[in-house]
Homo-oligomer: A and B are copies of this chain.
Amino acid sequence: MREVSIIGVGMTRFGKFLERSMQDLGREATWNAIEDANVPVKDIGVVYVGNALAPQLTELKGTIGQHVLTEAGIFGMPVINVENACSSGSTALRGATLEVASGTCDVALALGVEKLFCGDTARSAAAMAQGTTLAKFGFMFVALYSMQLRKWVEQYGVTKEQFAKVVVKNSYNGSLNPYAQFRKPMTIEEVLNSRVVAEPLTQYMCSTMGDGAAAAIVCAKEIARRYTSKPLVDIAACELVSGTFTFPDEAHEPITSRAARRAYEKAGIGPKDVNVAEVHDGMAPAELLLYEELGFCKPGEAGRMIDEGRTTLTGTIPVNPSGGLAAKGHPVAATGLAQIAEIVWQLRGEAGPRQVSNKPRVGLTENAGGWASDDNAACAVTILKRWE
């Protein structure tokens, strides 16, 4: 298998764009990535397109990728449309990486695109309520998550204030990110005093709907220099697993830990080697739990980690410098590739006012999707290394 580098990334701003189509969003992210990579379209051998909810929300009911790419003026090559709920974007990256690594082509495009705002918020919300047994009883995602969460809160002594600190950190980072949906820094009080969605979760602890797209161009490392003179970022691992989200002490190992273990092994590194990370903070407590599951701290130490500011832009291991899902927004299938874009910019030193201060060489993304209560989830952990 050949080594694979990311030679270009691009994204749209995330937000509520009633006037823009999914195709339009996909076109912008795709061309941003192509221009960043300086690669001619004819050199792109295969395209993976992640999308999760278009069949419910738009009139496009199949071959979503082809519809989006045609709008971007790109067609002819194999297009593989992939879906893995919120981890659809990472699934697209994994596919593109495998194509290049195995030599089916030298350059591949991974695109994640989502259009959730359709002018009828109730319809959008319904589309996102997955069809499980529990959903039939009215248990929406946040309600279930909060129920599972309480046991962890009790056992490990994490506090609502610590959840709020995650949002404070991420909203500050988002305020520095021109691609973020929400750019207002928040205080602990604002987070704690926002509307309770499902105790202990308040409104600002939960990510919202968004429209947007993000893309990456991957390339065989051996020829990457034909295209770009920017620092090369290698894909050291892109590991996907399926299974169950669990909290500590439950019967199964959390899907996130399993994915992380595989990724660290593949990349030949450990958690201590990671300099910057983008993680899936669909709810603020998830970020704390992920500090532990990804090995950034020991079990039970996540609360102290946020208290000590170790994951801020100037901390020892900045987490969600982009603002994360909470501030940057969460257009489902675009999220995984937006995380990749952020890490590439951070490793290249191109993140502007939100550039982390530890001169990162190794970055990690964690992108999880699926329903919390069933065995139907997916999780991808990707490790990127700056090469030169």
Contacts and interface: CB of A to CB of B under 8 A. Distances in A.
Contacts of A60: 130-131
Interface in A130-178: 130-131, 135
A289 interface: no
B76 A63 contact: no
A56 interface: yes
B80 A240 contact: yes
Given A98-B104, A241-B78, A243-B76, A378 B63 contact: yes
A370 interface: yes
Contacts of A79: 84, 242, 378
A127 B371 CA distance: 24
Given A61-B130, A80-B95, A242-B75, A66 B103 contact: no
Contact of A102 (B64, B80, B98, B243): B98
A64 to B, nearest CB: 7
A183 interface: no
A346 interface: no
Interface string A327-368: 000000000000000000000000000000000000000000
A242 B78 contact: yes
Interface string A56-79: 101111111011011000011111
A56 to B, nearest CB: 6
Interface string A230-269: 0000000001111100000000000000100000000000
Contacts of A52: 62
A69 B242 CA distance: 11
Nearest to A62: B85
A1 B63 contact: no
A67 B75 CA distance: 32
Given A55-B55, A55-B56, A376-B70, A63 B83 contact: yes
A53 interface: yes
A99 interface: yes
A76 B241 contact: yes
A322 interface: no
A80 B99 CA distance: 14
A357 B370 CA distance: 49
Contacts of A382: none
A369 interface: yes
Given A103-B1, A375-B66, A131 B242 contact: no
A240 to B, nearest CB: 4
Contacts of A1: 102-103
Contacts of A189: none
A278 to B, nearest CB: 20
Contact of A82 (B80, B101, B370): B80
A183 to B, nearest CB: 29
Given A81-B84, A82-B82, A63 B376 contact: yes
Given A1-B102, A61-B130, A378-B66, A80 B91 contact: yes
A191 interface: no
Given A1-B102, A80-B82, A99-B98, A61 B70 contact: no
30 contacts: A1-B103, A52-B62, A53-B62, A55-B55, A56-B61, A61-B127, A61-B130, A62-B83, A62-B369, A62-B371, A63-B83, A63-B376, A63-B377, A66-B377, A66-B378, A67-B376, A70-B374, A76-B242, A76-B243, A76-B258, A78-B242, A78-B378, A79-B84, A79-B378, A80-B84, A80-B240, A81-B83, A81-B84, A82-B83, A98-B98
Interface of A: 1, 52-53, 55-56, 58-64, 66-67, 69-70, 75-85, 91, 94-95, 98-99, 101-104, 127-131, 135, 239-243, 258, 369-371, 374-378
